[in-house]
Amino acid sequence: MKINWKVLASFTGIFIAGAIAGGFVSARIIRNVSVDKRIANEQFGPEQMKKLTEQLQLSPEQRENIRPIIMQAAERLKKARWEAFKTTTELLEDMEDSIIDELTYAQIDRLREMQAKERERRKQWMLERGKRGGDGRPGQEGVSPPPKPPQEPSKP
């Protein structure tokens, strides 16, 4: 069976165009979903109150009594998310500190560059969320922690 090269090229072109278009559509959807999720996190209390009011047909007195409960829960959730973020950051820093013992000086320098880029990325992320902080820790506004001195590597 003889396959015409023009037909094959046409199908290949269509496939590539579909892949490119799908990539752009996916990127746009992912960007919008992440923005929606951030808004949802910040609006948990008001949205929860609205949902309960509408679905349960709460009276004004019930709304008045329930609102503080929901707002307190929203604050506790916000604090829990922050604590999880802090704990994750600390665990990753501890891991990197332990890894240093196994690295050469050149690798330590490269790790320091990677850490600086990551701190800058986190700082930008925090600023985009409307928060302040150098590396995500309270009381560190705009200040990155000083780099730790390189330890004697166990490998040359």
pLDDT in tens, 95-115: 988 888 898 999 999 988 998
Is 108 buried (19+), middle (13-18) or exposed (0-12) by CB count in 10 A? buried
SS3 call for 146: coil
101/153 Cα distance (integer angstroms): 5
What DSSP character marks residue 57? T
Structure tokens at 35: 């923005």
**pLDDT tens, residue by residue, 29-69:** 776 665 555 555 678 888 899 999 999 999 999 999 999 99
Task: Tell me, yes or no, if the pTM score tops 0.85.
Answer: no
Relative orientation angle of helices 5-42 and 44-56, to the nearest 10 degrees: 80
Q: Give the domain ranges of the chain.
A: 101-156
Task: Tally the C-alpha atoms within 13 A of residue 105's C-alpha that lie toward its C-beta.
Answer: 3
- With a pLDDT cut of 90, the percent of the chain lying above it is 25
Residue-level pLDDT at 87 = 93
d(CA 156, CA 106): 10
Distance of CA 139 to the CA centre of its chain: 21
d(C-alpha 5, C-alpha 144), whole Å: 59
